Structures are given as structure tokens and as C-alpha cells.
């Protein structure tokens, strides 16, 4: 079992729709959770972090965390073609000594 | 804040030569840096974890004598690909661990082509 699981996609949504990206993790002691965006040919960029159960909103992005279900999600409202990228979920283990990336979900936003 | 630079951004070298890639944290001190490799359309692959002032920890399957890592200061880590071969051609990305919750900030990457 992988430490962090993501559906590889591609996830296709029309422009203006809500894109929902999901991630599960196996280490119940995980403390910190992150979403990165990676455009083709570029390095990953940190876009959201969340540390406690519930929702965290930042502009069009909302991260959701459910530690009981070991589940993290990222919602992108009013999706734009410029949001088309691969989104990586990352989890920091207990004491921050292990950092695991999912394999990423490719998002396509169609104009 | 939390800016990481990498140099060079692109390098072409001949087979058998060595290439050094620098990774710098510009606005914070990074006790821990990471080196990744990514082939086209594939996931990030962690190569090694670099701690300032100590030897790097390499992931299984990564040759430490081929990929030399030095983390001599709190803002600089270097990766040297020794005796490069065409199969070493890849996108090499470094990251630095942040100070809040262990988040990682990535450099822009170095695209290595070995001819």
C-alpha cells in the first residue's frame, strides 16, 4: 500500500465548474497536509496547506481534511484553463520526519 | 518568502563528464534539502535527503558515488552527477524544508541532457 494515494486522472471539467481532487493517506499519525500544483515541464508549487480537520479556503481553492477517514481533498471553484496541471497531494508524517507525495492527478479544464 | 533557486536551469554535457547543480534557499535557512529526479510524464522520485553538515541519506537504488550531494551551509546544497551517461538525462529538482510544518519549497529544476 502506498503512503499517499491519488487517482491519476485525467480529470476533465468544463471552464467555470468545480474541480474536486482527492487523496487518501495511510499513516494515521500524519500531521501536515499539502497540495502542490505542477505544470508540465515545471517544478511543483505549494498552493495549499492544512493541518486540522475541516475546511481551509484561499481564493478559489478550498482544502478539506478528515483525519478520521484519512482523507484530504482540494476543491477548485470557477475552474480556469490555466488551472490545467497535475496536482500533487503531500503528507508529512509524525515529527515531520517523513514527507510523502502522491503520484498526482492530472486536471484538464476545457474552455 | 520561501524562495528556492537552482542553477543551472538547463545543461547539456558529454557522456563521461561531471555536472554540478546548485540549490539555494534565498530567504530562509534550510537545515534539510531534498533532491528529486523526474522523467517525462512520471512522478517525482526522491533521490536523497541532505542535512546541513552531515552526509546525505540516499534512497534505495540511488548510487551515492554517482550522485554526490554536499550541504555545506544552511542555504546551499549541491548535487554532482559524476561520469554522466545518457540515461542520467532527466529533470532534477531540489527542495528545501520550511520552518513551519515541514513543508517543502521547490526550486525551478535543472534539465540535464547527456549526449
On the question of pLDDT at B114 being above 90, the answer is yes
pLDDT at A76: 98
Q: Which residues of B touch A45 (CB under 8 A)?
A: 106
Confidence of residue B31 (pLDDT cuts 50, 70, 90): confident
pLDDT at B54: 86
CA angle A67, A73, A75 (to 5 degrees): 145
On the question of pLDDT at B100 being above 80, the answer is no
pLDDT at B92: 98
Question: Residue A96 and residue A24: Cα distance in Å, rounded?
Answer: 18
Question: Residue A106 and residue A2: Cα distance in Å, rounded?
Answer: 18
- Tell me which residue in A32, A92, A103 faces B43 most closely, judged by beta carbons: A103
- Tell me which residue in B2, B34, B101 faces A51 most closely, judged by beta carbons: B101
pLDDT at B87: 96
| Assigned C-alpha cell, A18 | 468545480
- Mean pLDDT of the B49-64 span: 92
Asked whether the beta carbons of residue B101 and residue A45 sit closer than 8 angstroms, the reply is: no
Asked whether the beta carbons of residue A44 and residue B106 sit closer than 8 angstroms, the reply is: yes
pLDDT-above-70 percentage for chain B = 99
pLDDT at A55: 97
What is the tens place of the pLDDT at every residue in A10-40?
999 999 999 999 999 999 989 899 999 999 9
Helix (H, G, I), strand (E, B) or coil at B86: helix
CA angle A15, A59, A85 (to 5 degrees): 45
- Please return the burial class of A11, using the count of CB atoms within 10 Å of its CB with bins 0-12, 13-18 and 19+: middle
Q: What residues pair up with A110 in beta bridges, in sequence order?
A: A14
CA distance B107 to chain A (A): 7
Q: What are phi and psi of A73, to 5 degrees?
A: -135, 160
Asked whether the beta carbons of residue B93 and residue A92 sit closer than 8 angstroms, the reply is: no
CA angle A72, A21, B4 (to 5 degrees): 80
pLDDT at B52: 87
Residue B11: CB partners within 8 Å, gap ≥ 6? B19, B21, B110, B111, B112, B113
What is the tens place of the pLDDT at every residue in A56-110?
999 999 999 999 999 999 999 999 999 999 999 999 876 666 789 999 999 999 9
- Mean pLDDT of the B77-105 span: 93
- Tell me which residue in B102, B106, B109 faces A99 most closely, judged by beta carbons: B102
Amino acid at each position: 500500500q502506498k503512503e499517499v494515494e491519488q487517482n491519476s486522472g485525467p480529470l476533465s471539467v468544463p471552464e467555470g465548474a468545480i474541480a474536486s481532487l482527492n487523496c487518501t493517506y495511510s499513516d494515521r499519525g500524519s500531521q501536515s497536509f499539502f497540495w502542490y500544483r505542477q505544470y508540465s515541464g515545471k517544478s511543483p508549487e505549494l498552493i495549499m496547506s492544512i493541518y486540522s480537520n475541516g475546511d481551509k479556503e484561499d481564493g478559489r481553492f478550498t482544502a478539506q481534511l478528515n483525519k478520521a477517514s484519512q482523507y484530504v481533498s482540494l476543491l477548485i471553484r470557477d475552474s480556469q484553463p490555466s488551472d490545467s496541471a497535475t496536482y500533487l497531494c503531500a503528507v508529512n508524517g509524525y515529527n515531520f520526519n517523513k514527507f510523502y507525495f502522491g503520484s498526482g492527478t492530472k486536471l484538464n479544464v476545457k474552455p | 518568502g520561501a524562495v528556492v533557486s537552482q542553477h543551472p536551469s538547463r545543461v547539456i554535457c558529454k557522456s563521461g563528464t561531471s555536472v554540478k547543480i546548485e540549490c539555494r534557499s534565498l530567504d530562509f535557512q534550510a537545515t534539510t534539502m531534498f533532491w528529486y529526479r523526474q522523467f517525462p510524464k512520471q512522478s517525482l522520485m526522491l533521490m536523497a535527503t541532505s542535512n546541513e553538515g552531515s552526509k546525505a541519506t540516499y534512497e534505495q537504488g540511488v548510487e551515492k558515488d554517482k550522485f554526490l550531494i554536499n550541504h555545506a551551509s544552511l542555504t546551499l546544497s549541491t548535487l554532482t552527477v559524476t561520469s554522466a551517461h545518457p540515461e542520467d538525462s532527466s529533470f532534477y529538482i531540489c527542495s528545501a524544508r520550511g520552518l513551519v510544518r515541514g513543508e517543502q519549497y521547490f526550486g525551478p529544476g535543472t534539465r540535464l541532457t547527456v549526449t
